[in-house]
Chains A and B, each alone.
Chain A
Amino acid sequence: MQRIGDAPAVRRALILAAVALAALFLLLPLVAIFAQAFAQGVGVFWSNVSDHYTLRAIGLTLFITVLTIPVCLVFGVALAWLVTRFSFPGRRLLQTLIDIPFAVSPVVAGLIYLLLYGRNGWLGGWLDGHDVQLMFAWPGILMVTIFVTCPFVARELIPLMQAQGSREEEAAVTLGAPGWTLFRRVTLPNIRWALLYGVILTNARAVGEFGAVSVVSGAIRGQTNTLPLHLEQLYQDYNTVGAFASASLLALIALLTLAAKAGLEWRAARQEALA
């Protein structure tokens, strides 16, 4: 008996199609980015990357990312814990609400924040009266970045923690473990790979976020320009090599993220095989 799709011709055709599509849509653009970035030699690439405004943009992006990750980490773990370890009215609703940042277009998210915290916004007027400016400054960028990235960690943890159940934690409590010890010595080791994976995804998204940030940042060169916004500006100014030099940096971060993710998956699979 022949299994479905087992005919050699079908199999080869499918593999060929998959490889061709992957090359055309994934690999080629990536090669093009680096080709364009180095089109006029390493010197030009380097001078573009080390440009004052580019360095400021890189600095701001890293700054925002470094602040975003711990916030998302704590939020994600707390939320996953809450949803998987307790039952309370509205638990399902909460699980659905987690997905809002995924469902909403980032531009819309940015606009909502502008509407709430902008100078003419509902809370913005009051904040302005107290000399606090959130929009068109780094706090605004941070806020929308957190909004966009906050589901990643929770989404990674919830299915895992659901599957693992709370037996080991209960065992630890009967053995007298206080709350923090329990988390550190029992819960955390069981979720560490999923947690790291969530952080990697958060990192990738925080670095690359464009839509939401572009609405609230104001894109002041050297001040509120993140790397993706800076890239877009360079491109609008017909500085193709400069734009692609920045793009290659973003692509590099993406590749490193993928490598880290693959590494983690490999380790997790090995742990799984051992366990």
Chain B
Amino acid sequence: MSIRLHNIGKHFGSGRQRTRALEPINLDIQEGELVGLLGPSGSGKTTLLRIIAGLENPDRDGGARILFGDRDVTDVHVRDRRIGFVFQHYALFRHMTVFDNVAFGLTVMPRRNRPTSGEIRARVHRLLEMVQLESLAGRYPAQLSGGQQQRVSLARALALRPDVLLLDEPFGALDAKVRQDLRRWLRHLHDELGFTSLFVTHDQEEALELSDRVAVMSNGRIEQIDTPDDLYRAPGNRFVFEFLGDVNHLEGEVRGGILTCGDARLSVELPDGPEELLLRPHEVRLVEAPSPEARLPATVTAISPVGAEVRVELAADWMAAPWLATVRHADYERLDLRRGQRLYVEPRRWHRFPEGRETRRDAPRASLA
């Protein structure tokens, strides 16, 4: 079932303490899509999710509309919206067994629609089988690990066969390994059961890996919504670019096709004036000698050879903040990198987001200071 949001705005508080949590937002999610809401804390992503669920009300004055398929649910109470909601800290009923937790939604149905207790038992066991927790049906939530609790809460949310599954930071409280497994498992489940899902996360990697499309939010606004690929390759503005990964800044003055910043120089085809370039760590190379186009001296301050690539931290007087470069293990060995070594950085690519292209934005400039 598709989800359509129209003019969803939200203010908290009243009078002088009234603060805006969401600017009026429009968002269309296709049937069967898995969409991630990605943003830093305070960006309004959880508020948006809770409004879709019906746990919060959008502002009344903006003509807000929420549609599930053709059904207008704007004024429908949470309990009648037919959504499954997975809470950040699972919110399992602590005094009930795993079985009773999963069965809860079925046992509170009005008597005339309620399945018989035999049917309920069969359905709960099927669900527990699906989340691989059948053997723990008699346990209490406190006796389970975080990952197991999260799977119980998923099974509980799916028990009523909701049209829409909403997940609030579903893996936020789990350790890295469990998180990876659960992520893959959720994606699999989503594809198999075909519900429409929307999940909130502050972890870019998680959003990019799991979602069909990602909506990047900041300051109560959707900055960009795109497939993970497009988002990473063609960020619409500076915030999105900076939020999706590590960024190196090169800020200086362009004169006659040369950008100068302290003792660093770089040939660029840009008009004269102040300029700021942004570079991803994998978009720079480390070389032993400067080239005619680039002369960016730097000193190696830290090396982390763990993983597919070696992460090298660089410092120099002309840098406002340390740079990060990722190099292949082969290059790492060839260059014989050591701490304290002096090298030159050679940009392969750079990005720029001139003010004109982000007139709408008033967001994070702090990192430039």
Q: Which residues from chain A sit less than 8 Å from chain B, CB to CB?
A: 167-168, 170-178, 181, 185-186, 189-190, 274-275
User: Contact: A174 with B93, CB < 8 Å?
Assistant: no
Give, as a whole number of angstroms, the nearest-CB distance from A85 to chain B: 13
- Which residues of chain A are within 8 angstroms of B55 by Cβ–Cβ distance? 170, 173-174
Chain B residues lying within 8 Å of A189, measured Cβ to Cβ, are: 93, 95
- The CA of A185 and the CA of B104, in the complex, are separated in Å by 9
Separation of A29 and B94 alpha carbons in the complex (Å): 44
Per CB-CB distance, the 7 closest pairs between chain A and chain B, nearest first, are: A175-B105, A167-B91, A174-B85, A171-B91, A177-B108, A189-B95, A275-B142
**Given A181-B108, A274-B140, A275-B140 in contact, is the A174-B84 Cβ separation under 8 Å?**
yes
6 contacts between A and B (CB under 8 A): A170-B85, A172-B93, A174-B83, A177-B105, A185-B93, A190-B94
Cα A157 to Cα B92 with chains together (Å)? 21
Contact A275 B84 (CB under 8 A): no
Interface 0/1 of B100-120, CB less than 8 Å to A: 000011001100000000000
Instruction: List residues 65-96 of chain B with CB under 8 A from any CB of chain A.
Output: 78-80, 83-85, 87, 89, 91-95
CB of B160 closer than 8 Å to a CB of A: yes
Using Cβ atoms and an 8 Å threshold, which residues of chain A touch B91?
167-168, 170-171
Say yes or no for B221: interface residue by CB 8 A criterion: no
- Residue contact B78 to A174, C-beta cutoff 8 Å: yes
A176 (CB) vs chain B CBs: closest residue: B79
Q: Is the interface of A mostly helix, strand, loop or mixed?
A: helix
Contacting pair A185 B87 (CB below 8 A) = no
Whether B140 contacts A178 by the Cβ 8 Å rule is no
Q: A174-B78, A174-B157, A176-B79 are in contact. List 18 more A-B contacts (CB 8 A).
A: A168-B91, A171-B156, A172-B104, A172-B108, A173-B78, A174-B53, A174-B83, A174-B84, A174-B85, A175-B105, A175-B160, A176-B80, A176-B109, A176-B160, A177-B105, A178-B108, A185-B108, A274-B140
CB atoms of A274 and B53 under 8 A apart? no
Q: Please indicate the chain A residues that have their CB under 8 angstroms from the CB of B160 in the complex.
A: 175-176
A168 to B153, CA, bound (A): 11
- In the complex, per-residue mask of B13-48: 1 if CB is within 8 Å of any chain A CB, else 0: 000000000000000000000000000000000000
Given known A173-B78, A176-B105, contact A186–B93 (CB-CB < 8 A): yes
User: Which residues from chain B sit less than 8 Å from chain A, CB to CB?
Assistant: 53, 55, 78-80, 83-85, 87, 89, 91-95, 104-105, 108-109, 140, 142, 153, 156-157, 159-160
* Distance of A46 from chain B, by nearest CB (Å): 46
- Residues in B with CB closer than 8 Å to A168 are 91-94
Say how far B356's CB is from chain A's closest CB, in angstroms: 43
CB neighbours (8 Å) of A172 from chain B are 93, 104, 108
**Would you call B80 and A190 a contact (CB within 8 A)?**
no
In the complex, which residues of chain A have a beta carbon less than 8 angstroms from the beta carbon of B95?
Answer: 189-190, 275
> Bound complex: CA of A128 vs CA of B53, how far in Å?
55
Query: Considering the chains assembled together, what is the distance between the CA atoms of A175 and B82 in angstroms?
Result: 8
Contact between chains at A174 and B79 (CB < 8 Å): yes
Tell me the smallest distance from the CB of A100 to a CB of chain B, in Å: 28
On chain B, the residues within 8 Å of A174 by CB distance are 53, 55, 78-79, 83-85, 157
Q: Which residues of A contact B92 (CB under 8 A)?
A: 168, 171
CA distance A254 to B157 in the complex (A): 48
- Measured between beta carbons, the chain B residues less than 8 angstroms from A274 are 140, 142
Q: Most chain-A CB neighbours within 10 Å: which of B53, B83, B93, B157?
A: B93
Shortest C-beta distance, A170 to chain B (Å), equals 6
Compute how far the CA of A242 lies from the CA of B158 in the bound complex, rounded to whole angstroms: 68
Closest B-chain residue to A169, C-beta based? Answer: B91
Q: CA separation between A23 and B79, bound complex, in Å? A: 58
Per the bound structure, the CA–CA distance linking A174 and B83 in Å amounts to 7
CB distance from B171 to the nearest CB of A (A): 17
Please name all residues of chain A whose beta carbon is closer than 8 Å to the beta carbon of B105 when the two chains form the complex: 175-177
| B309 CB, min distance to chain A CBs, angstroms | 40
A contact residues around B53 at 8 Å (CB): 174
CA distance A274 to B89 in the complex (A): 19
* Chain B residues in 8 Å Cβ range of A177: 79, 104-105, 108
Residue of A nearest to B89 (CB): A167
Across the interface, A175 reaches (CB within 8 A) one of B89, B140, B156, namely B156
